Structure 1
């Protein structure tokens, strides 16, 4: 396969990248619009006045806001409790509480609750007996409940106080009240009607099963408490002259929904602009801005910081290998341990967010003028070189942290250690007069938090070989825009002149900020440019003999017989940097299709999975993992993939397999009938006699001709003498004549096996293949094998009534009615005879849409067509 055939044309790659970047471009655009609105709303605001208002806030008010925040987060955790009732599941309350609190503490701040919160839930609940459908339903239930109840509360408050949004909606209050009441009725009536009979509600192409009335009644106070306490937190911080609380709730609900819809992390800019615009004109904007700043710190940053510290303490306790103490505290920790342990794999994401925020804070603090009297006094006492140098260094180090956060997200070991070094440098700079002890203490805490997670950053990738994804570019754009916003807001009254760049004086704060912003911008730009230019493009090539030998050794030790298909040679092989793990894949259409998950030890397997996904995206292709099992689900979620169920694979536990008992009556009868017809099973060990290979080729040609088929590839082997000569071959003979054969793929430890090619003569007895499977499993059992894989039953096990996903509905429809072109149900029924354990298998793709294109690309590969689709 040539490289030119694997990379799409420039126009196709550009179109694919633009479609992938569209959500991020929309988020950046909404963020810019929010900042523009904020800039105009804050035009009369002086930052010194905002800082003074923050410092003047009474501790009693701050304490009440913290208490309200705690109550709000407890209500948020109640969403999961209610969702479990909706699914008819029961889990220990401490696990639900810890998992829910962690999910929301991180998800609210990152602005990715459906993603990060769903990942936490998967890790918590999958280990406690819940399957993927249950966890997806819980995440959907919480998101829909939040959206519906926020809308209803906002509409209810608007109906009571229709003047709440008159500053933004030029409509008469009476008309607003009527519209609000009609909208409430349009939502509540169908919902109650559906809940009364547990019916389904269809919204466009999505169908949702309504909760029971008891679940709905329990969810109402939880959702009301969530919105009420979060609104109360901000309301307590507002100055005198604020509208009544119920009027404010309408404004708060509208701002919250706008922030969620914008997909900007935390709704920053969008949320604040709506709150400021809706406040009475008599309220001082500086005091409202101070309240919003405190609200962000209390409702978002405090829970995020507490969750980070809790996660670090727990991880540190695990790292030193100390058992949980037997005290009451120890027993309490044991109860919440599943929730805390489940959060640990999210460390790269949340630590990257912490680093990004730290860098943003360092850079912005360098741009802003001193906001305390002590800092202003210090500027007059110390030499100019100290002041100028500390500002420029702080700005540069902050920008460096922003760039390094992208490396942390990729689990880069180099980025981890560089981040620690830059933070340590930031502490030194923060201590240079005029000293910022709070910044130094915060950076020191960040270093301590990162220490227990150093093993999570195991990738040996060169830092400058990062792939700058649309999300990464969006975050850099947001950071750079934030610099400009802070600069213009802080010095909006300073007349600009070119001479400002060269003014050096103790009181020349605007020129200093200009130089600091330029240096920070250059650091961001150069960091991004180096990442983009130094990214190596991986060229898929046929594997060499040395590569196949190395991959074969890894596959043999993996314990999964399907991984031996790497030796077919029809797939490229990407190794981890230490060559302890690999991904086997082939380009087709717009996809790079990996067969199965990464193979090898977990740390090296995770590394090569990330490398594969990045290399595919860098080449303008979609990374797709085809036919992965449950063990790879967590890694796929970490890669940002969406799972689409392909079917279920059957695996038989051989120690308990026999032909005895009433449940095996049909197998026993078929096996006895085969023996009466003269069938017998032989296992031929490699290397095979050329005469045997010739006889097997005759059978294979007969089998292909009877089906008007040709050899396939990618997920199966081909009839090739060199391929067959690697493996034992099961032969079914009738009175000495070979009637059928199958080559066996065993694992290196002799514990598991599966079969690859299965072919028989057109005149073979009807029970031949059933006899082959039965006799082979009995023979492997006698040889000490523990597991035998019967392969996958495509599209079986899809449950659209539980998932409500379009793909599951489509796949289930094909499974039931697609017998004219493939006997899906018959294949499942055949394998069910052997009483296997069914394990779900998935296709992991970047898009949430039904995976029709990746499946079409996979079908071309399996059919043996070249990547461009011709052949």
Structure 2
């Protein structure tokens, strides 16, 4: 025997799993059985005849009737000497009791569920002892009512049909005194060991439970307008309940219904009224409380699964629910607008009618147009995951639900709206953004839908004009409208929705929080000098970008990101600067904060290390080109390949040109001379900023400037050396020359810089990007890269990409790929257009157009 018990103990988890699945199967089976007994079309007719306030009161009565059963679980936990949280106790008790109402089996299902929920941390024997006491008194309340009903049959004037059930009533009435006597006489731990307060509590709870059951049935009948004779109805109801429980039929289904229909018909209540009465009773006492209990069950089950699997199931389910809500909101809005625009199509085309989840029959034109477009508008807020959209969406669904009850009740519509409401509540976690940034992508999608529906409506209006020759050629019959007045009311609805759309979008946008901060020179300089930077770091001092600084756990600034915002895109320029060990935490924090405020980061010209990290965040990437690196220690002009460059250097040296590196601070006279060279180089073109430095005295004063001077000592070309805050890499920013400079001056300046930086101990010189080098040229390239190539091919007018590659090739020892990464929520075409717009924005417009890194670090004319 011990071996058998040990075998069962080792497999307890398996038996629990089998029990839970068995309960689920039983519930599903009984729900199917109940659904067959409930005519939804008949319920619709019933609801149309009952005032809305009475229906709501029936719902409240049904929910209140279930509440007393919570007492069983309070007493059980007192016996087990445990104090669960009140919310958990309420939810689990409601779930157990409503499931038991549906599943039945004489309360055995509830005992198994209570063992699973409350007995996990207790000794199995103690749990069984406590549950046996609960099971013993579960039917004591029905037994008391059975005895009362028996007295009414014996001494009252009940119908002959009801009197025949006296034997069932006396049998049910004897249950309570027998159980009470046994519990008093027995001294064992399973039945007899019950103290007075516990016994009294169980009896009182059971009595209240059956009082709720009986009262809910009687009150629903009274609200229906049925004239109830309590002396007849109460004994019949109790007898039917006893027979149903003795048969252990789930939910007393079948036997209870049959007895009540025959019995109530026998006392003069019409069969149709009795059926409607039972239907409403089952709906408000069984079905709706059970659905609430099912929600509690899913909540508790999901909590258990989430703890076991690191909350991944919750994230997946809420994300799926969010996608479902967005689809249903948009789909419903489109269907409602179409049903108001081409109502005859939903009559002639059966498949179209079946697609429409909100098929109102007597809804007028104006409300239909308003409802459809409002669903689309609120759907945008839900799709954008904005917190502010939650309550307006809930309000819209509730108003629509009330409207269906009042105007045109439909079970299908009510079920759909109820399901939509539940999913919205369930997916609330997905609404985490503080504001809406109405992106180009959103405008494109919403605009296409709104425009298509509006144009269709206007076309139909034109088609219905008396002067339109459709009377002879009615090629689309369902385009015909009932009247111009009805069509005009719909047009008025479209105009109202347009105004509401603007106001709602403004409401979702809020005050428009701006991510990042303006430049704080001291903080940035301290960070760069402490932890290092890269070839892009110095560009922050142009003051045309925002900064985002990450602080570690010690509140120390360790990582810098510089970016500009265009529409909803925060375009980050290059790799982060600072402490490399903190890059991943800094980028993750930046992405999360941007996401919270409705922005989508775009990481432009980043290294492979950043690509691999961001790919885990669901970012797509395209190769933007390759960066040329000159190997300074091994750089030489010897060899056949460098023949022309040697000639250039020899010529400039022979003719007396000088190369010099000037140290800041620079005099006003020098700045004036440099400005003249810069203006000469620019000509009629405008300065462009963000990634390529523009001529700013304050910016140029921060670093060395390399100059080329002619025989008279006049500066004919210059390049500002960019501090990289490392001891390995060197690069330049502005590289400009006057028109009087001889050809080859750029080569002279470059080669002189290579020699200078090699002498300074640097490892390599960064020549900058060769944009779109080997990007999107193959038929097998990513479609994003093909699109990017087309955008730049047709949008950029200033650069010869292949020529730039060829020029840098003669110096470069290696090519390092650079990438652009963007969120999958962005359209690649819009990402590239944003880059192109910023890339060509004149510096005087930088306050209006927030920028991104230009493709070329060095732009020149040869």
Aligning the two structures, in what range does the TM-score lie when normalised by the shorter sequence? 0.3 to 0.5
TM-score by length of 1: 0.41
Higher RCO (C-alpha 8 Å, min separation 6): 1
TM-score by length of 2: 0.42
Larger Rg belongs to: 2
